[in-house]
Chains A and B, each alone.
Chain A
Amino acid sequence: DTAVSQTPKYLVTQMGNDKSIKCEQNLGHDTMYWYKQDSKKFLKIMFSYNNKELIINETVPNRFSPKSPDKAHLNLHINSLELGDSAVYFCASRLAGSQYFGPGTRLLVL
């Protein structure tokens, strides 16, 4: 199926650990994004890559590092996880102005 996919869907981990979330899109889009959705359902952009190049880097702690090995993949690595990192993280890709979201990764930091 053509889609934006993310793994894992759920991630439960201890404070201080390092974890990665993977995102892949087979839609042929050039631009990909990471968003964070907090407990109040507010979606906020974190990063964007266009053809493997970083184009948006919002005010995000440098514990978060995106990596784009190719234009179909955008992974998110988080170091030294903190309680406040608990949220749902969405990957998205963009074509002609509209963005298509992955299913989300629910991260819970204990």
Chain B
Amino acid sequence: EDKVVQSPLSLVVHEGDTVTLNCSYEVTNFRSLLWYKQEKKAPTFLFMLTSSGIEKKSGRLSSILDKKELFSILNITATQTGDSAIYLCAVDPGSSNTGKLIFGQGTTLQVKP
């Protein structure tokens, strides 16, 4: 069965810290891996990764994929209280062109002032 596992499940840090969130997956096929940030409402899209070893970067956030070891990490440097959210990892198993995403259980990040 296709599966996505995130770790840690929750994390508390102080402003200015750097955090690394992990996402590992087991799927029969693989098309892409996506990261989302969910604050109080809808998940908002952060990154889509399809190739190993190519870092995607947006401000203080960056992410990379390892298709050999079947995982991805999301890094946040110089964290701010506004980074507090649930971070969701999802994989498109690509077995059909439906775009079906399999989500991990999320990592809840709390950044304290």
Contacts and interface: CB of A to CB of B under 8 A. Distances in A.
Given A98-B48, A100-B45, A44 B99 contact: no
A56 interface: yes
B99 A31 contact: yes
What is the predominant secondary structure among interface residues of chain B facing chain A? Answer: strand
Interface stretch (B22-30, B36-44, B65-73): B36-44
A98 B41 CA distance: 18
A97 B86 CA distance: 21
Interface residues of B, number: 26
Given A31-B99, A48-B100, A98 B88 contact: no
Interface of A: 4, 31, 33, 40-45, 48, 50, 55-56, 90, 94, 97-104
27 contacts: A31-B99, A33-B99, A40-B105, A41-B86, A41-B105, A41-B106, A42-B103, A42-B105, A43-B43, A43-B88, A43-B103, A44-B103, A45-B100, A45-B101, A45-B102, A48-B98, A50-B98, A56-B100, A97-B31, A97-B34, A97-B48, A98-B34, A100-B45, A101-B44, A103-B41, A103-B42, A104-B41
